[in-house]
Chains A and B, each alone.
Chain A
């Protein structure tokens, strides 16, 4: 907490006032963050299917849900998809974000328009963006295939219906949407760098590329750490486009963790297994936050 001087005492403010002031926020965190976390852990030890009369009342089954999860080929496929999704979208968005930031951080006429072009996907709803992107993946006249054909290559018939390409397609949309958002953090970082760093480098005859790679990028390490954390957390919690584009298909090829959680709970009506999945997701989220915290502490030291 802050080291600010303690405030002057307030004759008119009763002792319970601060508790009253924080209570609405506290109640929301209690009811919609703390309690559900406890509840998810608890329910993960029970069997409860809502679509079988027989299993509607929860029965204690210990760790069975977790055992089922980690031996189920579906779940292992989901973990693999999620790993590919995160490992693909996060670095790609970050590299593009850094490149965009460098490009638009120059005093050139019309650069504001370019900045707008990169950033605007941030404020579009993911479902709207995905709806438009669907067209670009359409067989025959979709943009991707037209482009490939212009290059003399016969594109795959159907991106979203192809098990080898569906995941890639939803990843492309996520990268397109995120790069501009992450760009603004690099842009802010670049603008905070002392200008003489660049001037000294160009007097030395260092090329533009060397300037950015050897000087700017290392100086922006903290920004990169911050941006990576946002990007990773986002990758786990944004699955809206999957609902629009592939519904996790074909045959599970584009199902990632959160989407799978939704399916297990709201299609299979399997509350116990969904709770175990919730716990897995919470553990991953906490691990990411804690790692980020530890790393940034070390950076700050």
Chain B
């Protein structure tokens, strides 16, 4: 082996080692949580013990579920995420269609007005939006958590882009055939735009499944609290203290569905996040 080749080899090996060490370090967090959540509460958590113990148990999950209504939190999260997703898919498709296909007075102005949502993130508007929700009489409902997201400037923009890429000839042919606007949308614009819709949907689901601050502010009781709020309340329960197996079990409970979905559809998720740089 000549020296250039050897050096190349060495570089590759050391890069592989670096990658492995960093990735393992990054993954420690989740692996640790999974392992601990199946360890008996009685076992000491001193250094190393967690990794090399033998006993496995499901008790922490049962205990966590008995201490807090995770079932209800699940229901609320699913309702919130579902409402947002359905509303968004409809509103962004319709608005995207109008902006891509139709000409109307004030189109540009309305489009830029909608883009305002991208410039001022919802998080900053927490205080006035809270009082709007109170005035609407929606405080402490799942609808209050979901409503501000029923329209999405980003989604509208994405759909407009997708629709603009549909070949003109196809659209004109549809019009010649006498399609109504919704037939045109349904049969000609939508089919090639499904990947964009899916990408948007995945990032919407994970964004709202994980949301914390807004639901913290507009929910008060179990009837509307989502999983993220439930988890934080759980960690603050007096009887939990620093019982890590229990905390880990609760955490995994909150993470699990989305995480499994992610493991299965990894590529789609990454593509979707790539699409949605600005949420």
Contacts and interface: CB of A to CB of B under 8 A. Distances in A.
A132 B244 CA distance: 9
A46 B28 CA distance: 50
A69 interface: no
Contact of B98 (A1, A18, A39, A43): A18
Contact of A29 (B116, B175, B181, B269): B116
Interface residues of B, number: 106
A285 B33 contact: no
A37 B231 contact: no
A120 interface: yes
A206 to B, nearest CB: 12
A70 interface: no
B117 A120 contact: no
A123 B99 contact: no
Main secondary structure of the interface of A (DSSP, over half): helix
Given A103-B22, A114-B23, A29 B114 contact: yes
Contact of A208 (B11, B99, B254): B11
B248 A132 contact: yes
A26 B277 CA distance: 22
A89 interface: no
Given A32-B122, A205-B4, A262-B213, A120 B262 contact: yes
Contacts of B23: 113-114, 117-118
Given A32-B122, A282-B124, A185 B116 contact: no
Interface in B55-94: 87, 90-92, 94
Contact of A184 (B110, B129, B130, B274): B274
B117 A33 contact: yes
B277 to A, nearest CB: 6
Contact of B116 (A33, A114, A180): A33
A122 B102 CA distance: 37
A301 interface: no
A36 B129 contact: yes
A131 to B, nearest CB: 5
Contacts of A7: 101-103, 171, 175
B129 A32 contact: yes
B127 A40 contact: yes
A180 B26 contact: yes
B150 A24 contact: yes
Contact of B127 (A4, A125, A185, A275): A275
Most chain A CB within a 10 A radius of its CB, from B90, B124, B125: B124
Interface in B183-228: 206, 209-213, 216-217, 227-228
A108 B13 CA distance: 10
22 contacts: A1-B107, A2-B164, A4-B168, A10-B175, A17-B102, A18-B98, A22-B98, A22-B114, A24-B151, A32-B148, A43-B128, A100-B22, A117-B24, A124-B259, A125-B228, A128-B251, A128-B255, A132-B29, A132-B32, A143-B32, A261-B127, A262-B213
Given A7-B103, A122-B273, 16 more contacts: A1-B111, A13-B181, A26-B113, A26-B151, A28-B148, A28-B149, A108-B12, A119-B270, A124-B30, A125-B211, A126-B210, A128-B231, A135-B244, A237-B121, A281-B124, A282-B124
Interface of B: 4, 11-12, 15-16, 18-20, 22-24, 26-30, 32-33, 36, 45-47, 87, 90-92, 94-95, 97-104, 107-108, 110-111, 113-114, 116-132, 147-153, 156, 164, 168, 171-172, 175, 178, 180-181, 206, 209-213, 216-217, 227-228, 231-232, 235, 242, 244, 247-248, 250-251, 254-255, 258-259, 262, 266, 269-270, 273-274, 277-278
